[in-house]
Chain A
């Protein structure tokens, strides 16, 4: 089979198999929609709230992306500090691990109280807080495990630390960075939705999910989950495309 065609057909078939299995599961058990909605219930929910899905999906998307961008900037800077300085690494790791170990659901009410009414800000903040950790760790590991010979090749010619960073350390860290970014993408969605669901008068898909819950509109809740999954997949593949452009050299053809 043509390789490009295969790359598209295989995942599409997998999604169809998954939907058929889901539909069959609900049908065989005879579950009502308040127990579990079937895929066949969803088109109707999407149709009924189509304009809401568009506006709220957009709200969720831009907040997630903004939070993610901040996480990339902050995480990279933090990773650089920890990657280059042994002392900073020893000092910051316990703090960072401790911070990451706190379930972010517990942070939501604190943030919501701290910045009352700043809904956009709060949501972006949570997406950022939940997703910078893997980026910081991967950048710091990428930099601190750079073999000394790589440094020596340029240093013996009189290159500055900055030159060594741009020419060697940074590109060499890119594969790890993109690996972490893939994790961070899905985490950022979790952060955005935590805030959107929990905080009152929220916006975004999380709030739509919550209104489905209060109105016992179960197909709507499942439709939101599907919409979130869809956004997650889109953002993930955007990262994959960026990875191909900037770190495609690291990919080996298997076999």
Chain B
């Protein structure tokens, strides 16, 4: 089956004063429609560069990024993004923040329908009653929930999440993991999740891609059997422990701290 997102042989280097700094070298990632891939790897290995490539915010030096059978050459409105920093606009209410993408992307929705959709998304992530609040009145976790709604409002084909829960405390993070499953059930999307958290990767994704240290290439791919309605208890089963073990080992290999092939 043709993948919705296809990253083929991508190489990229940043130009610095000390010469080119290669960050990506031979990246291969394919995400089928409705799939959710988590990308993990050592710090500074080029994971954020990857999100910018998929979003069309920059072009790779070599290789190709394909979305829905079309080569990515620039930004496209079929992408929704959320970052570690929720970047809500402080001068807008939460509702108006969520509606922001529809002011850019041509939409068939009327003003009323758009607002209804925003309210629906907000209630889906547990933010009903906060529509008219300002971002400064919300906690970090709630802002991230609102940022998620904004990323989904224009029904993007692809959702790119760049460590969206990285700055949250452990309990809030686990809450948001469960929210993500709820959202995906009601609002199916194809997703790429950049994360540092291995438990997060196996809980949310159905495939985990481990990148090598810089310059990053695809080092290891682990398929996570899809579980219906997962709960946090699923993270404490023997299967989960096994998956985490494999991933932890692969990260150590990527960091150059363990030889390949051992477990």
Contact = CB atoms under 8 A, between A and B. Distances in A.
Nearest to A251: B136
B77 A157 contact: yes
Contacts of B76: 158
Interface residues of A, number: 21
Interface stretch (B14-22, B97-105, B223-231): B97-105
B55 interface: yes
Given A152-B55, A249-B134, A168 B105 contact: no
A130 to B, nearest CB: 30
Contacts, number: 59
User: Which 6 residue pairs of A and B lie closest in terms of their CB atoms, listed nearest first?
Assistant: A249-B91, A156-B55, A157-B104, A149-B87, A158-B75, A159-B104
Contacts of A252: 136
Interface stretch (B78-86, B213-221, B242-250): B78-86
Interface in B94-151: 100-101, 103-105, 134, 136, 150
A156 B136 CA distance: 25
A172 B55 CA distance: 24
A47 interface: no
Interface in B39-84: 52, 55-57, 74-77, 79, 81, 83
A167 B91 CA distance: 10
Interface of B is mostly: loop
Interface of B: 52, 55-57, 74-77, 79, 81, 83, 85, 87, 89-91, 100-101, 103-105, 134, 136, 150, 154
Interface of A: 147, 149-150, 152-159, 163, 167-168, 171-172, 174, 247, 249-250, 252
B90 A167 contact: no
Given A157-B104, A158-B104, 7 more contacts: A153-B87, A153-B100, A156-B55, A158-B105, A167-B103, A249-B90, A249-B136
A177 to B, nearest CB: 13
Secondary structure at the A interface, as helix, strand, loop or mixed, is helix
A252 B55 CA distance: 35
B81 A156 contact: yes
Contacts of B57: 152, 155-156
Contacts of B154: 157
5 contacts: A147-B85, A147-B87, A152-B52, A157-B154, A163-B104
Contacts of B150: 153
B91 A171 contact: yes
